[in-house]
A and B are shown apart, each in its own frame.
Chain A
Amino acid sequence: MTYRANVFKVLFRMDDHLFRIKQAEKMHNIWLSMLWLIALSIGVYAIMASKGMGTTILSQGAVWLSAHEYEAVKFWFVIGRTGFGFIFAVCVIFIPSLILHYITKIPYQKLLYMQLVVLLLLLLERIIWIPLTLYAGLDWYASPLSLGLIASYLTDVSWVIYFFGAISLIQFGVIWFQMTFIKRLSTVNAHWIWTSIILLHLCQWALAATLASVDDNMLGRWFR
């Protein structure tokens, strides 16, 4: 049978959908959903950047620039951010699914579909960041949904704060979703699945922490 892709509904009627996905021989509409999720990702990141989120790196020395210069700098930043939005979506969709495909032998297309849902959840997380930053002055790693606040109290090391800041309730939700999905569709040992998913996420969090540690001085050195 054919399964018709509907990224939203999967979250609400999970059992039902997972059952049908398992039975399906063909996944329909995947590419369309993929396209508009990528578009959504680009849109969310472009909006966040236009609101100034992430521009703390540009604020240093901004007072020496003219109005046009400062806005031009932010403009190019937004362009970069938009690019990131695209790369982010592509990475989230294709890379974990590839890795998990080799481990669990679940058809690649179905795993791609799973990652589409994951991407949706991640974009939701980012959308929540918007009011958090604009109204409460809290950056992503200081979100009350993450472990970053507790980390801020316990240490001063930036990388560690960023690492724990990347671990949020939504991340737990994603892990739980991926666990459920794969367990349903694969016969591989539960422990294996558990381990691989956790490892995958640990890498993602470490990558996030590393990216966040790139600061103005580093950029300065690269672009000297």
Chain B
Amino acid sequence: MRKKWLVVGIILFISLNTCLILFDNDDHIDRLVFVDKWDKVFEEDLYEYLEKDSVFDYIHEHNVYFDELSGDFEQFLVEEGSKVSVGDALYTYDVRDIAEAKASLEEKAQQLKDDIVTVEAALTKINMTTVENDTISVLLPDEEQTVEIPQDTSEANMLKTQFIIEQEKELERLQARLAAVKADTASLDREEETITVTSPYDGTVIKISESLEPPLMTIAEPQLQARGILTEQDRMIVNLDMPVQLRLTAQNVTLDGTISAMNDQPEQVELEDSNHYSFFVETEALEQLDVPILPGYHADATITLKESLSASTIEASWLFDQSIWKMTSAGTVESQKVERGIQMGSSVEIIDEVEPGTWVAIDVSDQFQEGAQFITPLKLGKIKWHDIGQTGNWKRHVVAGLLAR
């Protein structure tokens, strides 16, 4: 009989205590946290990439037109694929009205002469300006001494030289075209009836319209760029100057470049379908490669949307409800809410004041309570046994073990 009461009494006692634990809202009871697995916040360079397909194509294409009214078309002097320079003959036609043709040539010649004058003037002016070697004098705070800081003029000089080179090239081009026009005029004077039209551009003839539909021909300048297509969602997140890496798998070549342009206009605005916007990638000089890059070559383009170098990083699995459980120097665990940044694979950037090297508990159970002291099991594997005798203060820890209850 008494035994029954004893058992009942014991059960009641334990139940009371259990209730005290479960309904401890004011933290009367010290809690512990058993942490079996933990790791540290580390530093990593994180990137967010967008993969797109791209293809190499000409940057500048120029159309050449033939005015039916100026004469009867005779023949093409180049083929599709022919390389032409400024002044090379493209096609010939029979002049219908010599006077009109001559007048038109005169007009062209005059225009060219005007252009040449402009360029020559620009060249003269730039040659006259010298880049000033300005030295800036700075008065020091003690108001006694002055420091002379010479301004670096090398960049200005470089720009000047570059400008001169471009203008000289343009001058050459214009002079070549003027010479061609003069030759045409000369042949008209000799009462020849056939005019030869020469190329105003350097490049490759990429299209010839045999049926004489305008444009008559298209000449593309040799510079290439890579272009691809962005979807509506992509277009919103890609910006100019984002770095792009192009991998030509068939040619085993990798190039670095940047987004040089993007179309604001889709090829054709669709309501029912998705809209596509072109993007263009400018790369380093293609001529310097061992492998010639031809138009039409495909490349996998990796656009770097975002980058964060030496970011505080954690594994995504360490996050519990937008927070991580930090282990503090006071020996307790603390939950810290963190803001997520770039995610690359399983690594997540945290944008918060959490220093790399902070301990984070990985295996979080219901037991975890804010401010509870943590205990960890002994991990023999991590001990370097030959150093064990040198542990500072080992006696203190042995005594701690002897005196704990």
Interface of A toward B, CB cutoff 8 Å:
49-64, 67-84, 87, 133-146, 149-150, 152-153, 162, 166, 169, 208, 211-212, 214, 219, 222-223
A-B contact pairs, 24 of them (CB 8 A): A51-B34, A54-B375, A57-B400, A59-B331, A59-B373, A60-B330, A62-B329, A62-B359, A72-B391, A73-B391, A74-B376, A74-B397, A79-B401, A81-B404, A82-B401, A133-B32, A137-B32, A137-B34, A138-B29, A144-B17, A144-B21, A211-B403, A211-B404, A214-B404
Report how far A88 CA is from B372 CA in the complex, Å: 28
Q: Which of B1-51 contact A (CB under 8 A)?
A: 10, 13-14, 16-18, 20-21, 28-34
Residue-wise interface mask of B (367-405) relative to A, using a CB-CB cutoff of 8 A (1 in contact, 0 not): 101001111111110111001100101111111111111
Q: Which residues of chain B are near A152, meaning CB under 8 Å? A: 20, 28-30
B223 within 8 A of partner (CB)? no
Report how far A138 CA is from B375 CA in the complex, Å: 11
Q: Are A57 and B358 in contact (CB under 8 A)?
A: no
Q: Are A68 and B32 in contact (CB under 8 A)?
A: no
Also in contact, A149 and B400, with CB within 8 A (given A49-B378, A59-B375, A211-B405): no
Q: Which residues of chain B are near A57, meaning CB under 8 Å? A: 400, 404
User: Of all chain B residues, which has the CB nearest A68?
Assistant: B384
Interface residues of A: mostly helix, strand, loop or mixed? helix
Also in contact, A212 and B405, with CB within 8 A (given A50-B377, A61-B331): yes
A164 CB → nearest B CB, Å: 12
Q: Which residues of chain B are near A149, meaning CB under 8 Å? A: 17, 20-21, 29
User: Of all chain B residues, which has the CB nearest A169?
Assistant: B10
Report how far A135 CA is from B377 CA in the complex, Å: 13
Interface of B toward A, CB cutoff 8 Å:
10, 13-14, 16-18, 20-21, 28-34, 327-332, 358-359, 367, 369, 372-380, 382-384, 387-388, 391, 393-405
Q: Are A142 and B30 in contact (CB under 8 A)?
A: yes
User: Of all chain A residues, which has the CB nearest B393?
Assistant: A223
Contact of B32 among A49, A138, A145, A166 (CB under 8 A): A138
Report how far A155 CA is from B98 CA in the complex, Å: 118
Q: Which residues of chain B are near A63, meaning CB under 8 Å? A: 327-329, 358-359
Also in contact, A68 and B395, with CB within 8 A (given A80-B400, A153-B28, A211-B405): no
Q: Which residues of chain B are near A142, meaning CB under 8 Å? A: 21, 29-31
Q: Are A52 and B376 in contact (CB under 8 A)?
A: yes
Q: Are A137 and B367 in contact (CB under 8 A)?
A: yes
B310 CB → nearest A CB, Å: 21
